[in-house]
Amino acid sequence: MGNIVAIVGRPNVGKSTLFNRLTQTRHAIVSDEAGTTRDRQYGKSEWTGCEFSVIDTGGWVVNSDDIFEEEIRKQVTLATEEADVVLFLVDVRNGVTDLDEAVANILRRTKKPVILVANKADTNEWIYSAAEFYALGLGDPYCISAATGSGTGELLDQIVSKFPKTIDDETDENIPRFAVVGRPNVGKSSLINAFIGEERNIVTDIAGTTRDSIYTRYTKFGFDFYLVDTAGIRRKNKVTEDLEYYSVMRSIRAIENSDVCILMLDAERGIEAQDLNIFQLIQRNNKSLVVVVNKWDLVEEKNTVVMNEYEYAIRNRMAPFDDFPIIFASALTKQRIFKVLETAKEVYQNRKKRVPTSKLNEEMLPLIEAYPPPSIKGKYIKIKYCMQLPDTQIPSFVFYANLPQYVKEPYRRFLENKIRERWDFSGTPINIFMRQK
């Protein structure tokens, strides 16, 4: 199971700096789309062979200038609900503030492991003054300097040791895992209920995870897969229910634990910044995708022209990756519900598809000869051979060239499009590698 670490604390204690330090400055999701003014602070980190996700809740405050206790309280509550380990960041140079005490009050009540981190302790004098944080009642403060990196090694050791020891999921590796994701009120629960129906007896829950249940096995009408439970379907917690931007955080675990993501959009509202954020998470985790436009029964004009316009708009917003199925459905009237499952199954099979090397070369080499990569500084690039790599997470193709470093992104995209035209990899990302022959 992917573990999640959340960084909480009042503004300007260095949450983003620590985030960048932990994720090796592989930056937050920064998107130029209008509507995403805040960074979505989400990244991956790895320490002693243990991989985990890091979330900086500071990137989520609505108006970061006015420090509303209420805002911070919501953030901290959400972090304690969703994360496995909470890092509470305080600033040694400011000492204990009222806001720190307010945060500590919430954290003392949580069952989750909380690590108190005293930041900006770059000298011994500052390390001594960190003792006053014992007053927060959260144990030993770990003194670090996020800016210089001192003390972060011990902190990482501590984080990794606190992860819940989950029994490995007893899920069968060969059975696909589907996650239904999307922003609040788009109809995720209705869709899942439409799949499962009221006959809950076909549902088997797998214990052994920290959550009540992560996977639900579905075996009906010739299907066999796991539905990844998007946490929060069962819990209607008012604090976070009304907050749009938390749906991203809610989706992280489900996306990381699935093979195929069923991204639900609202037919009446179209694509919003929120949907794009979730889409980016799916892409960054290399997951396959099926887009479901829900509430299609509520759209007045339902002709093919409207459908095509809608489809074009969706692909346009999600470019450059636009080779994925889009289904217009209604969870309420159960219209095209099984189409969703069938498509998810096909997309999963595309993810596992192998193209024989001889076939690949037979189709691709003549194309490459007709449209070779543009020459750079008078050097001609020759691609002599290609193959699909075995046993990769997503279909990955390697092209052997004499000057692989000169093959640029547009040409890779050209190769990818040609592969997609000839073989059905709909819904699944593809890797294209250039290697020295």
State the binding site for GTP: 9-16, 56-60, 119-122, 182-189, 229-233, 294-297
Transcribe 102-165 into DSSP letters.
HHHHHHHH-SS-EEEEEE---SHHHHHHGGGGGGGSS-PPEE-BTTTTBTHHHHHHHHHHHS--
Among 50, 60, 48, 44, CA closest to 8: 60
Structure tokens at 193: 């209920």
Token pair 């790895």 is found at: 46
The contacts of residue 253 (CB under 8 Å, 6+ apart) are 1, 2, 4, 82, 214, 231
What's the chain's length in residues? 437
Q: CA–CA separation, 265 vs 279, rounded Å?
A: 11
Residues tagged in the binding site annotation: 9-16, 56-60, 119-122, 182-189, 229-233, 294-297
Compute the Cα dihedral for 185, 190, 191, 192 and give only its sign: positive
- In 159-214, the DSSP E strands lie at 177-181, 204-205
Structure tokens at 321: 């990756």
Structure tokens at 301: 């004009």
CA distances from 292 to 45, 194, 211, 338, 403 (A): 31, 14, 27, 12, 42
- Taking residue 122's Cβ as centre, other Cβ atoms within 10 Å add up to 17
